Structures are given as structure tokens and as C-alpha cells.
Amino acid sequence: MHVDVLINNKDFNKYTASAIKFWTKKKKRKFNQTDLILYAALFIVLLFSLLSNDLSLNWFDFLSGFAAGTILLLMVFNEQKKILEPKENGFVFGPTVYEFTDEGISIKKDNSESFTRWDTVENVFNAKEYFYIFVDHNLAYIIPKRTFLSQEKLNEFQSLLNQFIPGKVLNK
């Protein structure tokens, strides 16, 4: 089966959010990025409070420390997000041609070609708008469902996945 895909920034952001939810549920972890930010902000507030001149806790020191810590954390988080975002003409964004065969998945882009055997696929997450074909715990091929021009083609693709990787297709 031949599938042409065009991934954009919106698709990647939805993948990131879905991947975090998917793997958090799968590994039964309850800790997420929001928790990390809140705990770090609380730590910074306490640190600011304790390092004030008279070592007493007053509301102004508390609020200013909290505000400064929160702003600092948001700036750092925003910079890290930019670092982790794929290049515009890299492997993730841009047109991609997937060829699904009996042997595996052939991936062709303007700047690269690769092949993934079916036994390498860890899981497929069937989300509302996408299929995420995980080939590693943090790497997936993103297949938007809008790619399929009919429900018949979408069903054919789902059947293909179930045929070659039975038991690994997980529905949302």
C-alpha cells in the first residue's frame, strides 16, 4: 500500500502530546511535565524565601520569588521545546512517501530513504486523527488519517496494520 503524507508543525505538536499521554498510560506513570514545572517553581520560591536578607518569610518575598521562578522556568521550557522541534526540511516535516509491503515499511523523503521491518514496530497508536507507528519508545511515524481519501482506504490501512503487527495496534 502506497501512502503519501505531508507532516506539518501542528501534526508534530499533536504527536508529541499524544505520545506523552500514550506512554504515560502505558508505563502507568503519573508524573508529567506540568508536575515538574510546579515542583521546580515551588523549590525556587522556597529558595528565594530562605535566601532573603533576614531569613524570614513574608508575602512580598514569596510572591516575587514565585513569579521570578515561574518566569525563569517558562523561559527554559520554551527554549528546550525549540531545541527539540524538528528542522523544517528534516526527517519529520515535509512530504513523505510510505510504502507498506509484506516485508515492512519503506520511507522515502526528498533527503533520505529508510526501511523498517515489521518486527521492529513496537506499537501502533490509533488516535482520533492519526496513526502513530512507534519504532522506538520515543519515535513514531506519523500518518494523518486525512491522508486517506475514503473510509474504504482508511479501513484497508487498519487491516494492513492488524495483519502485519497483530496485537500491537492500540486504539485511543
Say if residue 63 is in the same domain as residue 100: no
Q: Which residues of the chain have pLDDT under 70?
A: 19-33, 35, 46-58, 61-62, 77-92, 172
Could you tell me the three cell numbers for 99? 510504502
Give the pLDDT of residue 153. Answer: 94
Give the pLDDT of residue 56. Answer: 58
Give the pLDDT of residue 104. Answer: 95
User: Domain of 106: which CATH number?
Assistant: 2.30.29
Q: What is the mean pLDDT of the chain?
A: 78
Give the pLDDT of residue 72. Answer: 77
Q: Which residues span the domain enclosing 37?
A: 33-84
Say if residue 98 is in the same domain as residue 155: yes
Q: What is the pTM of this model?
A: 0.63
Give the pLDDT of residue 160. Answer: 93
